[in-house]
Amino acid sequence: MTELATLASEPLFGLPLADLWFALVFFIFGTFLFLDGFDFGVGVLFATRSSEDEKGRLLDAIGPFWDGNEVWLVVFGGALFAAFPSIYANLFSRHYLLMFAILAALGLRGLAPEMYEQRDDATWKTWWGRAFVVGSLATPFLIGLFAANWLLGATTIVTLPGIVVGLAVVALTVVDGVAFLRLKTRGELRESLATDGYRALAAYLALVVIALGALYATTPGLRSALLSPLVVGLVVATLVLAGGYALATARDRYYLAFIAVAGLVFSLVGVVAGSMYPLIDRASGLAVEDAIVSTLPLNVMTIGAGLLLPLIFVYFGVLYSVFSGPIEAGESY
């Protein structure tokens, strides 16, 4: 009974669990954006390929991964609901139309490549190929719009900073897609993708600058957070990582380029989280400490997360190991 009373009244090991769960929620969100981000990027790059052989290789490259990568979006929603149920309710009630649009875009992105390969008909492939591109463009744009609106505490769906952040996320997923495809392809396709990566990286950096300027100009309450050492440090890290990606790409260091993109993604998510903290919902004025669930369920969830998350990472480690290496000609999953 004493142990149960302690579990119900004191945070596990005296840890700042509210802050740790805030960080964990955004870490999970960043993991989704990085892993499913290259799927979105491949979908956008699909529009730049005219050869059926190259289009097929792009689809084969993400075939074993895309549905598994979407698991992280479910984990994000589950973690937010479990740890911060009032924030989950507030966000999803304010932006339920945006949530439905994200789900619809994800569904289209998932359905389109499956349908694309069902028939060897030019018209059929053209329309389902377009659907794949639309879903792959719309999903990251809408996710960026959602993240910006969450940061702003906006009650409307469309905001100027949200549009810019949405475009920035699209550009970042293209960089992610290029880095992934240069790991998974060979020959002329691999070489031609480098230029797409440079262009998308330049667009991303420009859009980040515009987004930060728009946030600073339109939201006075965020100005001190945007100038905090954490956010400034993450912006500097973004520039360093962008340079690292460009250098690694130029030298054909494919894994280093992919790691640099991971850093870019988590830096962007860190800027959102760092600019928001200690609030977690600017619209309602709720701080992290105010929105977290009570001590007992928080402790139980922490134990559960400590047991389950390593298993999830092991699963993904096995998945990516089994399907590692470039796609060979004629190979399909």
User: Has residue 5 been placed in a domain?
Assistant: no
pLDDT in tens, 26-46: 999 999 999 999 999 999 999
Residue 328 predicted with pLDDT over 60: yes
Residue 333 predicted with pLDDT over 70: no
User: Has residue 69 been placed in a domain?
Assistant: yes
* Spatial CA neighbour of 61 closest among 197, 196, 176: 176
Q: What percent of the chain has pLDDT over 90?
A: 68
Residue 117: per-residue pLDDT? 84
User: Has residue 138 been placed in a domain?
Assistant: yes
Residue 63: per-residue pLDDT? 84
Q: Which of 7-21, 116-130, 165-179 has the highest mean pLDDT?
A: 165-179
**275 within 8 A of 224, measured Cβ to Cβ:** no
Query: How many domains in the chain?
Result: 1
User: Has residue 167 been placed in a domain?
Assistant: yes
pLDDT in tens, 41-66: 999 999 998 888 888 889 989 988 88
Q: How many other CB atoms are there within 10 angstroms of residue 202's CB atom?
A: 14
Q: What domain range includes position 94? A: 14-323
User: Has residue 7 been placed in a domain?
Assistant: no
Residue 327 predicted with pLDDT over 80: no
User: Has residue 328 been placed in a domain?
Assistant: no
**Chain centre distance of CA 131:** 21
Q: Please state, in angstroms and rounded to a whole number, the distance separating the CA atoms of residues 308 and 79.
A: 12
Query: 71-75 long-range contacts, Cβ below 8 Å, gap at least 24?
Result: 71/312, 72/28, 72/31, 72/32, 72/35, 72/36, 73/32, 73/36, 73/106, 75/28, 75/32, 75/312
Both structure tokens of 142 = 């809408």
- In the chain, the amino acid numbered 121 is D
Residue 14 predicted with pLDDT over 80: no
Query: At 134, is the pLDDT very low, low, confident or very high (cuts 50, 70, 90)?
Result: very high
User: Has residue 211 been placed in a domain?
Assistant: yes
Question: Does the predicted TM-score (pTM) go above 0.85?
Answer: yes
Residue 50: per-residue pLDDT? 82
pLDDT in tens, 99-115: 999 999 999 999 999 89
DSSP three-state, residue 323: coil
Q: Please state, in angstroms and rounded to a whole number, the distance separating the CA atoms of residues 145 and 37.
A: 15
Q: When comparing pLDDT for 262 and 7, which is higher?
A: 262
pLDDT in tens, 294-312: 888 899 999 999 999 999 9
User: Has residue 163 been placed in a domain?
Assistant: yes
Residue 323: per-residue pLDDT? 84
Residue 51: per-residue pLDDT? 86
Q: Which of 44-58, 209-223, 254-268, 295-309 has the highest mean pLDDT?
A: 254-268
